[in-house]
Structure 1
Amino acid sequence: MHGKLLPLAGLYLVQGLPYGLQSGLLPVLLRARGLSLTRVGLAKVLYLPWLFKLVWAPLVDTRGSLRAWLMLSTAALGLVCGLLAASPPAEAGPAGLPVSVVGLLLLLNLGAAVQDVALDTLAVQLLEPAELGPGNTVQVVAYKLGAVLAGGGLLALVPTLSWPGLFLLLAATYWLAAALVWAAPALQQPPSSGPSEPALHSLCFPQQLLAMPGTLWTAGFVLTYKLGEQGASSLFPLLLLDHGISTPELGLWNGVGAVLCSIVGSSLGGALLARHRQPVPLLRSVLGFRLGGLACQTTLLFHLDTPGVRLGSSTVLRGAALLSLCVQHFLGGLVTTTTFTLMMHCSRLAPSALQATHYSLLATLELLGKLFLGTLAGALADSLGPHLCFALFLALSGMPILFLSLAPSTLA
């Protein structure tokens, strides 16, 4: 199993770099420049290529080998990073990012999304049922570690290391990963996806995918399970910035500390699943804890808006605010690993020729659910106010708990 997990870990780590760059670094820099919460939230439009994975998922099923798709997409990511090295942030005006950087970031997400389809397909076909728990732990932990390195790590290094140096370092990392794809024994002869015709039909008739056992319920669950959490996690750090937390401190706690807690939560989820815990009962327990944590965070936010209350440098309130970031990311990591395991269980019920397209459908819906409120959170806060906005997030976080009671027997 280690021969499978180590190359998967390396590839998922480099796949997390674009997410960390755009979720940990860009929002803080844009907010520090004075952009509104609405405009900061709209920067998540850069993730748009991830929503079209179903367009090329059938091609991964039917054209070429998984090894070739992985190697070419990873090398292409290195090329885009090399081009970003030639576009330093000095070109950006006070309104945001230059058009050239926006275009290259869209290409970076496109390459990462193509790589994701091939890599997830490989994981689904390579891992045995008993290996899904550890495999998804490696997937989530490595991805988030890449996000930490490119998010909080870049935020800490930008003042001392030049923008070209940072992106040349990222380019070298991607090219090393492409060499790993070429050399790793576990990837030399990846599993065949089987006949191509069903995968091509699935592009024209997605209802065939939804008709497979447990797929419709799983699709509904992954669309809703992150709505409240993602809205709160997108907005709460920016509100702390407004209440006196410095940019470097927020980068440390939200870009590094909180994500490390998320990695710990993901690892715990994998350990529990490896002990033959079923995903659905585990999710029911963890989602309850997450709801309680969000209720505490909402209460804290209400208190921060009391006249005269300020996040001083050594107050208990400041410690509670930063601790709440870590706790919610810990619980979010546990939820994510368990949910991805549930998704892989569902995709393994599909014919092997459709597994890339099937898992891409679920992963696209999962991302759509996360991006929906993550993108609109700033606009909701600007129009409704933070209090009403967080009350909405709290209500949405209770929905997945009710949804779990409808889980089909094939997955429960």
Structure 2
Amino acid sequence: MNDKLVFLGLLYFVQGIPYGLQSSLLPVYLRGAGHSLTRIGLTKILYFPWVLKVLWAPLVDRVGTKRLWLVATVSGLALTCLSSAALSPEAHIWGVAGTLLAMNALASVQDIAVDGAAVGLLKGRSELGLGNTAQVVGYKAGSVFAGGGLLAVIDVAGWGPMFMLLAFVYFGVALFVWGAPVLDDELLRGQAEGRKGVQSDAVHPWRVWRKLLSVPGTPWTIIYVLTYKLGEQGAVTMFPLFLLDNHMTARELGFWNGVIAMGFSICGSSLGGLLLSQFSIGSLMRRVFVMRTVSMAFQSSLLTVLEPSPLMKVMAVLSLSVQHFLGGLITTLTFTTMMHCTQRAEESVQSLQAWTQIPLTSWPPSTHWRQKSQALSFRLPLSFFFWFLSSSVVFLSFSLSPAHPPFFVGV
């Protein structure tokens, strides 16, 4: 079991690096260079390969082996980092955007392969809870490493050396996966069972969607994930930009939001795995979502404070830490719910998990806001995201009521 957790945790660690680069490092880097919130919001287009993940998920699940796909994608990520190291974001912004787009495409393929491996490797409720904890903690640790640690030193180390370091990390992981014995059992299972229906499902991916929607609990889970992630990711993205404009430097923000707050997120994810062995997922999520809504209301109230002060910094760090802690806890519970749902169907429907990774928050403030109304440009989108987050609480209460079919069925 320990070998499985190390294997999955390491793969999710390197998978979280592109997300950390684009969700934490890139927005702060561009904002510090004077780019508008609208232009920063448009960088979310680089996440588009995750939207298309459902198209190639059947191909990855049915053709080749998990080891082959993992080695190929991780090696490809190393090569894209080498390419990005040779570019300067100030002089070659489109080239850098192209490499980041390629990183997202490769990471989305890697996600399909590692999720498929996890479905085959993890057995029983206890393994699922620990496995999903390794998944979330590994992914967030990679995000912290890229979005917090690298942001804190990018002014000293520089863009090129930073991506050279990432290239060496990816090459090392590719060698580890190539010789990992933990894939042997999964490989035998995939060779015996994973070849059925290659022609039909790989060529007609919409059949996968029909199979996915026929699995008990799947439609409810999709609605919940879309509603929650839109509100959660929007709030997580916008509030740090408000702090950068009014209360913190880029280095301070990289430390408090990219390292400390994400550390709380990892603690929340770890706690989620432990709580799953004591309580039901439904009751846990309902309670945690109420706390998340209250903390979000507190964070929104801080948008009215524009004057820098030590007290405001303390309140901002407290808000970031609580939000990330609760977000990490909810993410582990959500991933476990989705894994249970996935194990009731074929591997190819694992593409459902893509929706937890797609940042559906590219709702940038309008360019027509005047500079003197900049505080309002933060309040409006954050109010929008807060509404979506609150809707998740209503949806959970509705789905868990006796009069309606539970989407946590069997969990």
TM-score (norm 2): 0.90
Residue number in structure 2 paired with 1:283:
285
Out of 149, 161, 171, the position equivalent to 1:175 is 171
Give the drift of 1:189: 3.7
Out of 399, 405, 411, the position equivalent to 1:406 is 399
Question: Does the alignment pair 1:236 with 2:232?
Answer: no
Residue number in structure 2 paired with 1:128:
123
CA distance in 1, matches of 2:101, 2:384: 31
CA distance in 2, matches of 1:124, 1:378: 40
Give the drift of 1:367: 3.3
CA distance in 1, matches of 2:244, 2:178: 44
Task: Check whether the contact 2:365–2:381 (CA below 8 A) recurs between aligned residues.
Answer: no
Residue number in structure 2 paired with 1:52:
52
Most deviating of 147-156 and 387-396: 387-396
Q: Residues 78-121 of structure 1: CA distance to partner in whole angstroms, max 9, x if unpaired?
A: 111111111133525xxxxx111111111111111111100011
CA distance in 2, matches of 1:75, 1:238: 33
CA distance in 1, matches of 2:355, 2:255: 30
Give the drift of 1:195: 4.1
CA separation of 1:332 and 1:381: change in aligned 2, threshold 3 A: farther
Give the drift of 1:382: 4.6
Aligned residues: 391
Residue number in structure 2 paired with 1:95:
none
Give the drift of 1:380: 9.5
Task: Check whether the contact 2:363–2:381 (CA below 8 A) recurs between aligned residues.
Answer: no
Residue number in structure 2 paired with 1:157:
153
Aligned AA for 1:395?
W
Give the drift of 1:208: 2.8
Task: Check whether the contact 2:28–2:241 (CA below 8 A) recurs between aligned residues.
Answer: yes
Q: Residues 113-136 of structure 1: CA distance to partner in whole angstroms, max 9, x if unpaired?
A: 111100011111210122111101
Q: Residues 283-338 of structure 1: CA distance to partner in whole angstroms, max 9, x if unpaired?
A: 11111110000011111212x14xxxx123xx212210121111101111111111
CA distance in 1, matches of 2:35, 2:156: 24
Task: Check whether the contact 2:61–2:112 (CA below 8 A) recurs between aligned residues.
Answer: no
CA distance in 2, matches of 1:391, 1:63: 45
Question: Does the alignment pair 1:311 with 2:313?
Answer: no
Question: Does the alignment pair 1:258 with 2:261?
Answer: yes
- Runs of 4+ with >6 A deviation: none
Give the drift of 1:240: 1.0
Question: Does the alignment pair 1:204 with 2:206?
Answer: yes
CA distance in 1, matches of 2:362, 2:326: 21
Residue number in structure 2 paired with 1:86:
86
Most deviating of 398-407 and 30-39: 398-407
Residue number in structure 1 paired with 2:295:
293
Aligned AA for 1:347?
T
Residue number in structure 1 paired with 2:36:
36
Residue number in structure 1 paired with 2:62:
62
Residue number in structure 1 paired with 2:334:
339
Quote the RMSD (CA, aligned, Å): 1.9
Out of 162, 167, 173, the position equivalent to 1:166 is 162
Task: Check whether the contact 1:228–1:397 (CA below 8 A) recurs between aligned residues.
Answer: yes
Task: Check whether the contact 1:235–1:377 (CA below 8 A) recurs between aligned residues.
Answer: no
Residue number in structure 1 paired with 2:135:
139
Residue number in structure 1 paired with 2:383:
391
Question: Does the alignment pair 1:102 with 2:97?
Answer: yes
Aligned AA for 1:140?
V
Residue number in structure 2 paired with 1:112:
107
Task: Check whether the contact 1:39–1:378 (CA below 8 A) recurs between aligned residues.
Answer: no
CA distance in 1, matches of 2:101, 2:282: 35
Q: Residues 369-408 of structure 1: CA distance to partner in whole angstroms, max 9, x if unpaired?
A: xx22x21043499596333333332222121112223153
Aligned AA for 1:375?
S
CA separation of 1:210 and 1:244: change in aligned 2, threshold 3 A: same
TM-score (norm 1): 0.90
CA distance in 2, matches of 1:223, 1:382: 28
Give the drift of 1:34: 1.5
